[in-house]
Chains A and B, each alone.
Chain A
Amino acid sequence: MTKQSECDNMSLWLPNGDRILSIKNYEVKGMKKFLAILLSMFMVLGLAAGCSSNEDEPGGDGPGGDGPVVERDPNKPDINVWSFTNEIPDAIARYVEMNPDSQVANFNIIPTILTDWDGSFERTIEPALISGNNVPDIYAAEQAFVLKFTQGAFSSYAATYTDLGIENVESKIVEAELAQYAVDAGRRDGAVVGLRFQETGACLIYRRSIAIETWGTDDPEEIAKKTGPGWDKFMEAAAEIKEAGYAIVYGDEDVWQVARDGARQPWIVNNRLIIDPAREAYFHLAKQLYENDYMIGEGAWHEGWFAGMAGTTDPQVFAYIGPAWLINYQISEHASSEGATSFGDWAVTDSPIAWAWGGTWLMGHKDLIGDDASAKRAAVAEILEWITLDTTDDGFQFHFANGTLYQGSAKFPDEAKAFEDGTSAKDAVASQVVMRRSNGELNMTAGQNIFDFFLPAGANARSDHWHEWDREINGMFQEYCRLYYQGEMSFEDAMAAFKLEVHETFEVDID
């Protein structure tokens, strides 16, 4: 092919005389080609214009593609659901499957799922909210940025639950026994605009076999006494675990999350940057872990971190510190993947420091309040109430805590099979009433009921130290801490560089 095409074009490179000849050859070929190009151009432009009008259904959509999970009936209006995981969009689809007669079934559920680990979700939903075009009807926010959507820059786009038509919100919150701190984070000037369905108080999730090898026991109560409370005890345990040939945690991020939540004040108070002592202490904690080889890597949410869960790192990782979702999704998946050595080898006990991590708040868009959106508003209210406030056995939270949501689902065969196999997730939920009725025994924990520890874990969690710019500022802080503990920068330089960066990015005063 190479040779021939070289020859084909040779005539073009000859000096003037031959050129006209070759051009004439092109003339005939070129006509057809040009017509084809012109035609396809109009087609493309036509298609592009067609796609722009929102009502039109562009052809070839819907089922039949490779992953046609978004079912879309052209006769039904859409409810746009934005989230950073498929959890909520799937749950809503399952709700429709279970309640085909509900008003939600009169709508298409259109999910937009963007990962939030690199900020993609925020960077995309923010313009979508501003643009006012095809806005999210239901949208999720995570702890790291929930305040931005409930109280901060983007709070005015959220409708209060009451305005959406959910009755007696406050008394239902009391009945469901939702944690105060999480409800507070979802209030805008006193009125609830966002609620969450998960409880995210954290525990120490550790490997039983490593505990036995190190201390001769894997009893959660005993391990809690070995590893805590407090960082001093934790470091002692780290030394003993290292002695036995293991690392107590994977990397700096595992400890950072805990240290971050130990703060008593938000990053910014009265437009001034505050470095809470608990956060400053993280610098020294990380250095200790690093210099003593108590950890084996850095960061989280990458291959290495997950490999620690599968038990395939060298040395192996003793523990992860996190909420119920961490064991239910990340650890479960990676510890049961092929080649993993840690299946069923996990147990849960108290975290050395009480704290909470993550959680998904759900908001409804303010445009739903208008009169012309009443049907959609009712459907959205039904969804939100089912997920955040319904404490019955049919409510989302009871299913979620007992892993029964996808039991017998035809739409979600993989999840239904997981239920049959007894491997479905049993996550801690916001309502303590539901939690007390639920059973958190997992195969992954060799039958231990994880709720014994997760139920009280949220009791001491708080939200008054959160800030809408947490994600950005946390990122900068971690970055400079990493440079400090790995010996690239002095403590003073790292702190100064951090402060300058916050000052210049957010126009806040620094000391």
Chain B
Amino acid sequence: MKQRKNFSYAKYGYIFCIPFILAFLIFSFYPLYYTVSISISDRQGVPLPGREYGIQTRALFDEEKIPVYDDNGNPLYDEDGARVYDITRTPILDEDGNQIIKIAPLENFRTVLNTEMFKRAFATTFRLWIVNFIPQILLAIILAAWFTSRWTKIKGQGVFKVLFYMPNIITAGTIAVLFSTLFLFPTGVVNDALIRWGILETPKNFRVDANATRLIVSFIQFWMWYGYTMLILISGILGLNPQMYESADIDGAGAVKQFFFITLPNLRTILIFTFVTSLIGGLNMFDIPMLYAGGGPGGATRTTSMFIYNQAFAGAYRYNTASAASVLMFLIIAALSAVIFVIMRDKDEARLKKLKKAEARAIKQAAKAVN
């Protein structure tokens, strides 16, 4: 591809990347930076009593301080008839009456890491992802192999390909509703069927069973995404050089052998892409566990994204801990992606590169020596 080095054209490489870089800096990087900056402060989301919102600081209203109540829940007043406020939880103000935002780099991270809910949510998220991703990638690979195989030549495969992506078209909300009705207690379709077939004697309440709910959530994720993964993998296989297969045919290698020794190894880049995007999507899982199960039963399907959402928006408006949890999740995802890259990198190619480098160095040295 680099047949000709033409320096006068190189500047277009920069120019054509500018929109991407700009949009990235404005819409991804800045919010991310903002999230990180919140994660090391004691900033909260709304003018909760004694809490502060947004970038600008401003004077607190009297009613934003935290009042003290007696044991019956009635507000306390001092001798002058003024309300008593909890000074320990009321923020410190500067001379102009603006709240001083405290910066505590590690405090929020410590809080999050000590939160049982977060640890559990992380384990849950990982579990939900693994349980849906492994069957998903396996099925997708098998289907992709079938649909690209010259040996089987499936008729009507176009229709199947189009159909398999369709679960991805419906909104998560609709899917959640449909599955709720399927697994309804006591008279849902699944319960009816299981009783009719004699598998169950009395209706089972799937919603209170942690394992069943997790399994259903994983299944929905699997069912929504295997078509997408299949399409990406098919694209990868179609991009492989047909000559490789031709020579394999000549060598007499069968379809299965060809798949394992030609298709899979050469599909590496696309597989890494699939793994990483699925990892990101999976560890950010939100819609289905939220809408189908509400994170229940007893937090059994609460994912880290839901934890973050609940911390940030559901009543407490704890932006700082939510941001810290977000940053932690980013670090975890980046680390896991790196692991995927390392495990799946082309070992031969890396070795080849090293060799080439050494060769170049040797040539250089030789040239030097000659001079």
Contact = CB atoms under 8 A, between A and B. Distances in A.
Interface of A: 2, 6, 13, 15, 119, 123, 126, 130, 148, 151-156, 188-189, 265-266, 269-271, 296-298, 303-304, 464-465, 468-469, 471-472, 479-480, 482-483, 486, 488-489, 494, 497, 500-501, 504-507
A233 to B, nearest CB: 28
A501 B315 contact: no
Nearest to B291: A118
Given A152-B49, A297-B185, A488 B115 contact: no
Residue of B53, B115, B316 ringed by the most chain A CB atoms within 10 A = B316
Contact of B318 (A15, A270, A507): A507
Interface stretch (B4-12, B277-285, B296-304): B296-304
B63 A153 contact: no
A256 B355 CA distance: 73
9 contacts: A130-B54, A265-B73, A269-B69, A270-B71, A304-B184, A465-B73, A500-B117, A505-B315, A505-B316
A153 B317 contact: yes
A154 B46 CA distance: 8
Contacts of B49: 152-153
A488 B48 contact: no
Interface string B205-241: 1011110000000000000000000000000001000
Residue of A148, A303, A500, A504 ringed by the most chain B CB atoms within 10 A = A504
B185 A13 contact: no
Contacts of B297: 479, 482-483, 488
Nearest to B205: A486
Interface string B21-42: 0000000000000000000000
A130 B53 contact: yes
8 shortest A-B CB distances, which residue pairs?
Answer: A2-B158, A153-B48, A472-B315, A504-B117, A486-B208, A469-B315, A506-B316, A504-B115
B116 interface: yes
B297 to A, nearest CB: 6
Contacts of B159: 2
A156 B185 contact: no
A479 B298 contact: yes
A12 to B, nearest CB: 10
Contacts of B326: none
A397 to B, nearest CB: 29
B298 A497 contact: yes
Nearest to A313: B187
Chain B contact residues (Cβ within 8 angstroms of A): what range?
A: 35 or more
Residue of B46, B61, B64 ringed by the most chain A CB atoms within 10 A = B46
Contact of A123 (B66, B156, B184, B313): B313
Residue of B62, B159, B238, B296 ringed by the most chain A CB atoms within 10 A = B296
B46 A153 contact: yes
Nearest to B302: A501
B314 interface: yes
Given A2-B159, A468-B315, 17 more contacts: A119-B314, A126-B313, A148-B315, A153-B47, A153-B48, A153-B51, A189-B62, A270-B69, A271-B86, A296-B186, A298-B205, A464-B73, A469-B316, A471-B315, A483-B208, A488-B298, A501-B299
A123 B290 CA distance: 14
B117 A505 contact: yes
Nearest to A486: B208
B311 A505 contact: yes
A152 B63 CA distance: 8
Contacts of A123: 313-314
Contacts of B66: 271
B205 A156 contact: no
B47 A156 contact: yes
A152 B316 CA distance: 11
Interface in B44-88: 45-49, 51, 53-54, 61-64, 66, 68-69, 71-74, 83, 86
A15 B298 contact: no
Contacts of A297: 185-186
Nearest to B61: A156
A189 B63 CA distance: 8
B311 A265 contact: no
A34 to B, nearest CB: 16
A148 B185 CA distance: 34
B365 interface: no
A505 B86 CA distance: 20
A156 B298 contact: no
